[in-house]
Amino acid sequence: MDKTITPVRSLRGSISVPGDKSVSHRSLMFGALAEGETVIRNLMPGKDVGNTRSILQQLGVRITDDGDAVRVRGAGLFGFSPPEKSLDAGNSGTTMRLMSGILAAQPFVSILTGDESLSKRPMNRIIIPLGQMGAIIDAQPGGTCPLTIHGRTLSPIHYHSPVASAQIKSCVLLAGLHTEGITAVTEPALSRDHTERMLKAFGVPVKRENTTVSVQGPAKLTGTEIMVPGDISAAAFFLVAASLIPSSELRIRQVGLNPTRSGILTVLRRMGCEITEENPQSVGDEPMADLVVRSGRLSGTVIEGDLIPQLVDEIPVLAVAALFAEGETIVKDAKELRVKETDRIRALETNIGLMGGRIETFEDGFRIMGPQKLTGAGLDSYWDHRIAMAFAVAGLMARGQTVIRRAECAEISHPGFYEDLEALSHV
């Protein structure tokens, strides 16, 4: 689908963004591994989470819709049935990497496949630690999927991950839940900690010391009630758009503010953006609040180091903010952007160039001097939901029309994104 974006005068009103994607995946998976029933409210309706749900169903887990909640009947750690066919993770790295940790410990063989984008993404990062635990996983040359996972009894390890990645950490911890003993993961910087927080809600003790997290297996998860907070990564597009477009004011209701995810707020506030938090709540150890954002004048900043894992998915839209901010913005230590749904540094370079903007790229980041004037252009999403939505925001600020090809990939994390944007737009 081609989506045409035209400039708007202001964004005003209030909006609820979909439930957090990371929390949604985990609530389904942990609910499936638990004993008893788990009731999930505000589960993200996007495609990635749908893939996790359908894989669990193919493993025999009963998942039903019940009004405003989703009910998961727990199968227990070893209660899955062998799948009849290969399991499709679609575009979802979280589905593939976390499910690999679970499947590696099951007493059967399973095959995990993905779409064209996921089939290019690195899987050795989980195959290596799972192999150290005794798993046997056949991948394609270069360590990509489809993965054939020969499930078996695993042993605990202490894994020192070369990358700060919640997907790697969660994969190893999930495998560790099935073993006899302590499984620990040390990462170079703290990545999002939803797994740790949610395991506690399911009754599993989790120890953390600096950037080392450990669990003791075999664990017993007990079904629970989960309220999924609004996804801060989905809120990010509205936060940036409202702060850039004059006379804008938005309320984004009940957004998750887990400190390992809220780097976008730190950076936008540092750039001069006015964001206030109202009606704070904490449900199941995940803090949330309404965010109220008003337009303002932004200035450039440096985004690097331990902050990167706290906003890794928000960097494409932060690049758009940087184009309109006064002065220099530098992003470094963000090599992970090269292996997301697309090479996001390359996608930013191409699309900003097509809009007549300038960006200097490095292997691990980029430099942008602002403010710049952008001209509407024909762009590709590269089938990356965050690239599609970031350039929809850029299109609101450009001169003329912007057409985003393959724009429907926004549905991966925010079904109805363009309609929500239009509903808030004043032209």
Which residue ranges make up the site for ligand S3P (CB under 6 A)? 22, 25, 94, 165-167, 170, 191-192, 312-313, 336
- Show the tokens assigned to 15: 């909006």
Other beta carbons within 10 angstroms of residue 184's beta carbon come to 19
H helix or E strand, kind and range, residue 145: strand 144-150
Residue nearer to ligand S3P on the CB measure, 167 or 183: 167
Q: Is 198 in contact with 226 (CB distance < 8 Å)?
A: yes
Say whether 138 is catalytic: no
Residue nearer to ligand S3P on the CB measure, 165 or 301: 165
Q: Is 299 exposed, middle or buried (0-12, 13-18, 19+ CB in 10 A)?
A: middle
The residue of the chain with the least Cβ separation from ligand S3P equals 22
Residue nearer to ligand S3P on the CB measure, 44 or 424: 44
The candidate with the shortest Cα–Cα distance to 268, out of 243, 304, 234, is 243
- Minimum CB distance to ligand S3P, residue 125 (Å): 8
Q: Is 246 exposed, middle or buried (0-12, 13-18, 19+ CB in 10 A)?
A: exposed
- Minimum CB distance to ligand S3P, residue 427 (Å): 32
Residue nearer to ligand S3P on the CB measure, 122 or 272: 122
Q: What is the DSSP string of 278-319?
A: EEEEEETTEEEEEEEEE----B--EE-GGGGGGTGGGHHHHH
What is the length of the chain?
A: 427
H helix or E strand, kind and range, residue 148: strand 144-150
Residue nearer to ligand S3P on the CB measure, 313 or 349: 313
Distances (CA, A) of 121 to 98, 103, 127, 341: 14, 19, 13, 8
Choose the catalytic residue: 231, 290, 313, 420.
Answer: 313
Residue nearer to ligand S3P on the CB measure, 30 or 324: 30
Catalytic residue positions, numbered:
313
